[in-house]
């Protein structure tokens, strides 16, 4: 049975899925994408967010991102699909957003225009208002992506307020990947009618406790069952058990910070699931053999008795 559509359907544990580039080529291994979706769905993921930051979306062509969207939608089963469609160019963003939403995506994750730094509030409002007018069909909406440490442009309250004033039907939510607890807390309290997602695995417990719509975080590529377990513990009020699960999640997430993040995520997926090891696309870099050996040792210490991982 499929999920209901609309803003209120957006929630849960969503995986910002990695993109598997074939060894010794620049091609995307699309069958791998399907296999990975099956694995994480079996582990409890509620949806996928392809071609975002974790999916190296800005390193892909529009045609590649369209093909990826097609494959994900064809194999989504009952999962939510929220592709990353933000580009530096407004015309590319319009084209990719319209394609995703018309093709059946539940929403899209929208980076701000990230090339020109320090754009004015008026310029950003014009960008997103034009996008809503040109690319978002009636009954659909977008999730704004706050990741200023990468994009260098924050989704400010002034920007969000201006968009909600002019296009309230188009703005469905925010993914806050700033990593700042105060930022996440303020988005949740200030915008109760929006779907707010935490982009940080480290803040998952806090996000669930504050009533966030869910998380869109890296470890949902690997252990969405841990995140679902944490969500249940928070909902039940079992503070000690929730803290233990959050600690386990945080320690595994630290591996993605110590080593190159996208390459490490793909290596851990390979180690846990047996899916073929796939590459990143330059300028991202691969792990060395030494780093792989270190990650294996660290993983064993973190996973411990969780032998299903």
Which residues carry out catalysis? Answer: 53, 115, 145, 175
> In sequence order, what are the beta bridge partners of 174?
144, 196
Give the tokens for residue 266: 């793909």
8 A C-beta contact, residue 268 and residue 309: no
> Helix or strand or coil: residue 280?
coil
Rg of the chain (C-alpha set): 18
8 A C-beta contact, residue 183 and residue 146: yes
Give the tokens for residue 288: 């060395």
CA 98 to chain centre: 19
Give the tokens for residue 114: 């990230």
Q: Which helix (H) or strand (E) holds 69?
A: helix 62-74
Long-range pairs of 244-251 with CB within 8 A, sequence gap ≥ 24: 245/205, 246/204, 246/205, 248/302, 248/306, 249/201, 249/202, 249/204, 249/219, 249/223, 250/201, 250/202, 251/302
> Helix or strand or coil: residue 176?
strand
> Helix or strand or coil: residue 108?
strand
Residues 295 and 74: their CA atoms lie apart, in Å, by: 34
Residues 289 and 266: their CA atoms lie apart, in Å, by: 14
């Amino acid at each position: 049975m499929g999920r209901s559509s609309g803003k209120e359907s957006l929630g849960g544990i969503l995986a910002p899925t990695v993109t598997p580039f074939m060894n010794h080529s620049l091609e995307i291994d699309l069958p791998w994408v399907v296999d990975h979706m099956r694995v994480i769905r079996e582990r409890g993921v509620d949806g996928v967010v392809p071609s975002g930051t974790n999916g190296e979306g800005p390193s892909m062509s529009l045609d590649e991102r369209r093909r990826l969207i097609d494959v994900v939608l064809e194999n989504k089963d009952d999962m939510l699909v929220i592709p990353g469609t933000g580009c530096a160019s407004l015309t590319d963003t319009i084209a990719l957003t319209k394609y995703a939403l018309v093709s059946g995506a539940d929403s899209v994750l929208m980076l701000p225009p990230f090339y020109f730094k320090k754009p004015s509030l008026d310029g950003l409002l014009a960008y997103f208002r034009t996008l809503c007018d040109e690319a978002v069909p009636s009954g659909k909406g977008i999730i704004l992506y706050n990741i200023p440490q990468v994009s260098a442009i924050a989704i400010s309250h002034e920007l969000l307020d201006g968009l909600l004033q002019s296009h309230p039907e188009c703005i469905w939510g925010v993914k806050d990947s700033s990593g700042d607890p105060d930022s996440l807390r303020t988005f949740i309290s200030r915008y109760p009618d929006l779907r707010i997602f935490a982009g940080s695995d480290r803040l998952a417990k806090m996000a669930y406790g504050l009533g966030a719509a869910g998380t869109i975080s890296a470890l949902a590529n690997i252990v969405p069952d841990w995140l679902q377990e944490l969500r249940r513990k928070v909902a039940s009020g079992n503070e000690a058990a929730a803290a233990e699960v959050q600690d386990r999640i945080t320690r595994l997430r630290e591996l993605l910070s110590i080593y190159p993040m996208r390459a490490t995520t793909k290596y851990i997926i390979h180690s846990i699931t047996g899916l073929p090891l796939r590459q990143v696309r330059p300028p991202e870099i691969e792990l060395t053999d030494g780093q792989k050996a270190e990650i294996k040792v660290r993983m064993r210490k973190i996973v411990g008795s969780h032998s299903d991982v």
